[in-house]
Structure 1
Amino acid sequence: MSGSLLEQTRSLHQEIEKVSSKSSSLYGEDYPSFEETVMKQHRIARMIKNAQESSKKLSSIYKDKDKIRKMELEMMSSENVFNVFYEKLVDIKNFHRITSEEEQKKMFTNLLNQKGYEKVKKEMEQKKEEEEEQKEVEQDLKVAKLFSGPETFGQFIDLYSFYNAFINLNLLKLEIQKIDNPIDISQRKRKTIQNNSIERGKEKEKEKEKEQQDEQQMMEKENENENKKENENEINMKKEKENENENENEIKEENNEDQVKNENDKEKEEDNKKEENKKEKTNNKKKNNDNKKPINQKANEMPSNKLLDYLSYLKIFQQFEGFQKRFQNKLYPKYLANLYNYLINFIERSRPLFNIAKLKQVIETEFNKDLTHHKFDDLFRDQEETILYQNPLYCKYCKKLFTNKNVFKHHAKGKRHLIGVKNWESYMHKEYESRKEILKLEYFIKKVCIVLAKTLQKSIENIQRKQTLTYYEITRELRNLKKIESKEYLLQLRNEKNEKNEKKEEFDDEDDEAIKNPKNVPLDYDNRPIQYWMYKLHGLSVTYKCEICGGASYRGRKAFQDHFQKWKHSYGMKCLGIPNTEHFHEITSIDEAKNLYEKLKNKINNQKFSPDENEEFEDSSGTILPKKTYELMKKQQLL
């Protein structure tokens, strides 16, 4: 009302209390549809923003950098109280000049008549509520416009634009085959059988070639060992020239390695040429009868660019390791940035109460840790290099494969190796800096997709469902979406909600009324006493108490018999250490149950076989004796 800081602090505190009470009541309400829950979350988020703004204002007032609050408090506590009062009165008059004259007349004319004043007050409150409802409806319309049609209020993800952008990047293999005639299925099957047999023959030839290569390597190792022995003898004879001979041996060993590699490379080139010639022959035969590749490929293999539909893209778009040559594409970083921004924006729209800032901080710390531990080194290698890295005799710095451990150890001490280490570190540092943004975006997208795992699964299921729909069903769904986005639908929802609240209040008022039940008859489902004839028919007038159930009472014979098999009675028997069998039915007292349990135990023990009493022996004359008498007579030598 007034321009004083004290009045402002009071009003701000009042607003915060109102927001907290409204937000807590809204948060506790359950809505049947997904659209209403999203709108509810947006309303709570708006309330929280307003509360944050008012709290910021309060903090600035309490800090009192201008010392205006201190001045006002001194004025209030000073002797010139009347001057302060008249100043405040002037502020109030100025405020009433701003307000409308009609409202003032209504208020002041009905001041004497208390009932009239209350009516005017109610009308004013109703107007305020209607205005607030209209504002909320307008804000709900804005929320509805935030989402596209396929998203349906944040229920599903819409990645159609990113799907088109991904296809234009041409990251996947362009391997596609066409079907010329659907009748040639039998011929294709024969061709596939022939191709499989050819491939098996190739595999056998490769195995034979590998065996030959292994034999050659064994021969080379023997020659190397002989050369080493000769070199050792020469070193012992010539101690003065040890340093020179060591350098010569290093050069010789490196030359031998180069020669062996050159021979292996030549053999590999010849093998590759043979395989290429065979492949050309088979491909020329396949040109007339080509088949399409299936979409359901292996997990490691990616589908081709033309076979990739939107549904398979949703399953693949977060698997970046399978995309070939993605670092070389200039449009790839832009694609990643747009995709990441969309996913974050989708979370903000569909989950306004979700703490995105905290999620970003956690992901960034995890990304920096993985960078320091070099967990992204595998991305800079080809498939051949990853296989070589597994070999312990492979030098990743010099990119050389050794056949002997001693040679590998000797190589690690050489100058060339140390220079290679420095060059490799500088190269990796440059590569990390150039590709850091792409790696970061990929890492962030993967982590955000973990948060959106359920929505992704729902969107995939929705697309599979839409593929089975008819044209009529699709048009009906589109009409329903348009209705949801309209203002009339939102007003209808609000009216239905108000009617439900009014009915609940009426029902609560009815429940509050005292229900007359003089005969203490049990209540029905509607909290009303049942009819007396039914009460007598079922024998509900008789009550049965059970000590084992904690002194619980049961009305009627049926309820009493049923309770022996329920959890409460079985739990009481378990606490007593007695099994809840049929022997203990109809027993309600604890002492009776314990006595019966002891009797049953004694009976079972008596029925057991005891060797001292039940075991019998036969002497030489054929008389049958118990065990005790037999042993006594045997000791006395009477037998």
Structure 2
Amino acid sequence: METFGRYLDLHELYNEFINSKFGTLMEYSAYVGCFSQTDKISHSHKATREYLEHILEYLTSFLYRTEPLQDIDKIFLKLESEFEEQWANEGILGWGNKGTEKESEIDLDYYSTVEELVELGPEKLKQALAARGLKSGGTVQQRADRLFLLKVTPLEQLDRKHFAKVPHTKDGSNTAPNGNAFKEDMKKEIALMEVKMKRLCELLDEAFVRTKENAEKKLTLTYEEMEAEREEEEVQVDTESDDEEQQIYNPLKLPMGWDGKPIPYWLYKLHGLGQEFKCEICGNHSYWGRRAYERHFKEWRHQHGMRCLGIPNTKNFNEITSIEAKALWEKIQARQGVNKWRPDLEEEYEDQEGNIYNKKTYTDLQRQGLI
């Protein structure tokens, strides 16, 4: 079960793996752990390609469903362009061609009898025969006999019954002379699928970790416990959906908290949220609680109201919420006018005889030439 995208459901792929010729018997949790290590699988089986196709199909589908904003086509397009370059340079890990060709080459000049070839073992003989396009099946003795024929007979003159069957297209033409080109295309296709699969595994790394942990956890549970856990998850999902649909019961009209639910009543009383403060300057806007009321004097609504009245929003008008603030401002302006320093009357000047005059008198006497 994927549990709404939380876990990967790899059971079908797991059954396909353990029942295949290239697979090995293991626990499901172990399979999840080594799921992405397809380079350890033998690629000589036809079922390997189908297995990789099924993996790629499932992972792509899972990523589409869990992360719909991921542009998978763009990711694959970039991977394919990088893959072509790396394949040409034989930079794909585990898919180098030069090394395998050298390993499959057997110089028949060094062998004088079939028995010496038998000592090489079945795998080396199989690789050598496959590299030359010959049948690679049969016992070790049969393989050695078939390969030893090349010591006395050139490959071109060898009887066609010793050659492996070459795949044909619909029009009857050979797709791969000696089977090499066809095998090369197959290898390239499988390698590309592996690269795509590993990239998807990287994107779904967290889901793989959760899946493995869940699989290991289930190993310690009995069947009854697993059933109870599954039912609990289903009930939890149902209750969550029901909670979202139900209307919130709030008879006291308490303010909503960060979780979308009414805050506790004791918190409501602690902050005095039942007290209403109105401000005429703010257009009779209501503020609930002393804290909100004190903070509003520095907020945009109150500042805008003060600007409309032509009053500066200073400390003198703190805690004043009525329009009478305008009358107070006029009184302050008048008081500032009386106490204001006037230089023409209060600035003092002294003449040569030591007489003191204010600025206005001194200027008048100076104009008349009396000073």
> Shorter-chain TM-score: which interval?
0.3 to 0.5
Task: Tell me the TM-score normalised to structure 2 length.
Answer: 0.46
- Greater helix content: 1
Bigger relative contact order (CA 8 A; separation at least 6): 1
Task: Tell me the TM-score normalised to structure 1 length.
Answer: 0.28
